[in-house]
Amino acid sequence: MAFTFVCRAADVPRSECREFNAGGRAIVVCEYAGEYYAHSAFCTHLSYSLDYAPVRDGQIECSWHRYCYDVVTGKNEFPGERGLFGDPQLSHPVAPLATFPIERRGDDLYVDVSTTVALP
Ligand code: FES
C-alpha cells in the first residue's frame, strides 16, 4: 500500500464531495456521518465530474442525471432497475465508482490509489 497525502480534513465540507489529485489520479473525497471516503472523480454513467456532488442518506448524487452511489462501497444504487424519466437509457445500473482506502492521520487525509476497496 502506498498512501499519499491528499488534503486536510478541513478541506472537505460536510456531506459534499471535493476533487483532489492523488498520485496523479483525480479522486473525490467526501465526509459522511463523521467518516471520510475516497472515490474516482467521475460518474460512471457519462463521466460527469463528482466535484461538489452532494452526499445524502449515505449516497453520492451525480448532479447531471441524479444517479446515486453508495458512499461506502461506490455501488450504483439509483436509478438501477427502476429507471428514470421513462428513458430506457436511464434504466440499468452502471459500474460502481472505484473506491480507495483512506486514512485520517491527525488533521490530514491519506489515500491509496494503487488499490481499490472490494465491494461487499
Ligand atoms: S453523468 Fe452522472 S448521472 Fe449521468
Q: What pLDDT, in 10s, does the model give residues 68-120? A: 999 999 999 887 555 566 666 666 788 999 999 999 999 999 999 999 887 76
Q: Is the peptide bond before 101 cis (omega within 30 degrees of 0)?
A: no
Residue among 28, 40, 44, 46 whose CB has most ligand 1 atoms within 8 A, to mutate: 46
Domains of the chain by residue range:
4-111
The atom of ligand 1 lying closest to the CA of 66 is: 3
Q: What are the b/e assignments for 62-100, b being 16+ CB within 10 Å?
A: beebebbbbbbbbbbbbbeeeeeeeeeebeebbebbbbb
d(CA 27, CA 21): 6
Query: In whole angstroms, how far apart are CA 73 and each of 5, 21, 46, 96, 106?
Result: 21, 20, 19, 8, 24
- The predicted structure's pLDDT at residue 93: 81
Q: Which atom of ligand 1 approaches the CA of 46 most closely? A: 1
Superfamily of domain 4-111: Rieske [2Fe-2S] iron-sulphur domain (2.102.10.10)
- Which of these ranges, 19-23, 60-64, 76-80, 100-104, has the smallest mean pLDDT? 76-80
Report whether residue 69 contacts ligand 1, using a CB cutoff of 6 Å. Answer: no
